[in-house]
Structure 1
Amino acid sequence: MQTILYARVSTTDQTIAHQQKQAEAAGFKIDAVVADEGVSWVSTILAKRPQGRRLFDMLRAGDVLVVRWVDRLGRNYADVTETIRELMRRGVIVWTVINGMTFDGATIDPIQIAVRDALIGFMAATAQAQAEATKEVQRAGIDHAKERYDAYLGRKPSYSAAQLADVVAGFQATSGTDPFAS
């Protein structure tokens, strides 16, 4: 039996270190960390993410999957509920760090199954609602910026003007052409 932490962060400015620290502070002895970093993954299901596929390949019956909260698995209700159910079918126990929830397929009591499934659904719906609310706030901020300024510039570039100049100079040196010439 192994304990695997699955961590996900949306931007390259974030790190998974705090998720691992929270899991360890909650008493988990982590054997392996699997992480998707730098992409939002709002629309990509876990099984299609690079490290999500790896996670499914690694997990075996009796293993424990630790996540900070179910929104780390995804922000889509159907994906999160199906992912947790598939893991339980495989005999994997899913633990959430933030609220100490445990999801496993071992129970046979119909009331416990109903409560477990209701909690999974509620938590997955909350993750999707949060993602949709965040998108709405971002959209409102963009609309406000467009109204306030003549030109909306979008998000900040992930590179500096000096880095762009280096790339252009390198391209010109190797190709002998100007990449911006029409």
Structure 2
Amino acid sequence: MDITLTDTGIIMNQSANRTVLYARVSTAEQNIDHQKTQAEAAGFTIDDVVADLGTSGISTTLAERPEGRRLADMLRRGDTLVVRWVDRLGLNYQDVTDTIRMFMRQGVVVRTVINNMTFDGATTDPMQEAVRDALIAFMVATAQAQAEATKEAQKAGIDAAKSNGAKYRGGKPSYDRKTFQRVVDRLATEGNVSAIARGEGLTRQTVLRIRDRQADCEAALTKWGM
């Protein structure tokens, strides 16, 4: 909040509206730097970056992600939310359409870097509202359909490799054996999944997988010679 000094005292001014970038990547090996760079190259001046790392857009809603919840809490009327595309908010049709409409009702403008789309709740014309909502629905449905098609293609490739007798090892673990052992030891003594994830530089989902499927995780390390 800004403070103005006058002859009669101090006036507290409401903070200027902010432009917030929300970024999300699905795996721990990725980073969000390119999403910020792309937004700035498109002409956006970013005041804050909120990012969920190693988080699926299919299996989690925005409200289920730690930074997604923080995003919803921090945005205020007049702020602008920037995303690379609507798929960064998620890949579930109902969740993403509900999320965008919620932000618009709160007076937040939602903008995309790709295609330079702008969605806000300022219009009261029913025809413009219908066109806007139809466009949102189309974009989100397209994102979910593409994600599902990619997932099916990956599954088909895995099945083909297995049927051909190829040695399928699954995804490479995002941790080495020393980190794995430290996580196992800390789970036995601490049990605080979020704290362990932060301390070891892993996602919360990875620590939960080690906790719940320790034998499978150890087998994966062996398969990858780690």
Length-normalised TM-score, structure 2: 0.70
CA RMSD of aligned residues (A): 2.2
Change (3 A) 1:31 1:150: closer
Letter in 2 for 1:167: Q
Once the 2 structures are TM-superposed, how far is the Cα of residue 26 of structure 1 from its aligned partner? 1.0
1:153 aligns with 2:169: yes
Once the 2 structures are TM-superposed, how far is the Cα of residue 165 of structure 1 from its aligned partner? 9.6
2: CA distance between counterparts of 1:38 and 1:166?
17
1:167 aligns with 2:169: no
2:57–2:92 contact (8 Å) kept in structure 1: no
Select between 41-50 and 77-86 the one with higher mean Cα deviation: 41-50
Q: Could you tell me which of 39, 48, 67 is aligned with 1:32?
A: 48
Question: What is the total number of aligned residue pairs between the two structures?
Answer: 170
Change (3 A) 1:165 1:86: closer
Change (3 A) 1:149 1:101: same
Once the 2 structures are TM-superposed, how far is the Cα of residue 136 of structure 1 from its aligned partner? 0.2
- Secondary structure of the structure 1 residue equivalent to 2:116: coil
1:77 aligns with 2:58: no
2:113 aligned residue: 97
1:116-155 map, 5 Å: 116-149=132-165, 152-155=168-171
Once the 2 structures are TM-superposed, how far is the Cα of residue 157 of structure 1 from its aligned partner? 2.7
- Secondary structure of the structure 1 residue equivalent to 2:160: helix
1:44-55 map, 5 Å: 44-55=60-71
2:20–2:81 contact (8 Å) kept in structure 1: yes
2: CA distance between counterparts of 1:46 and 1:38?
13
Letter in 1 for 2:32: I
2:78–2:107 contact (8 Å) kept in structure 1: yes
Once the 2 structures are TM-superposed, how far is the Cα of residue 38 of structure 1 from its aligned partner? 1.2
2:57–2:88 contact (8 Å) kept in structure 1: no
2: CA distance between counterparts of 1:50 and 1:165?
23
Q: Could you tell me which of 111, 115, 125 is aligned with 2:127?
A: 111
Letter in 2 for 1:24: E
**In the TM superposition, what whole-angstrom CA distance separates every residue of 1:76-95 from its partner, at most 9, and x where no partner exists?**
11011000000000000000
2: CA distance between counterparts of 1:7 and 1:46?
11
1: CA distance between counterparts of 2:131 and 2:53?
32
1: CA distance between counterparts of 2:34 and 2:47?
16
Structure 1 unaligned spans of 5+: 172-178
1: CA distance between counterparts of 2:82 and 2:58?
20
Residue identity over aligned pairs, in percent, reads 67
Structure 2 unaligned spans of 5+: 1-16, 186-213, 216-226
Greater RCO (CA < 8 Å, at least 6 residues apart): 1
Select between 47-56 and 146-155 the one with higher mean Cα deviation: 146-155
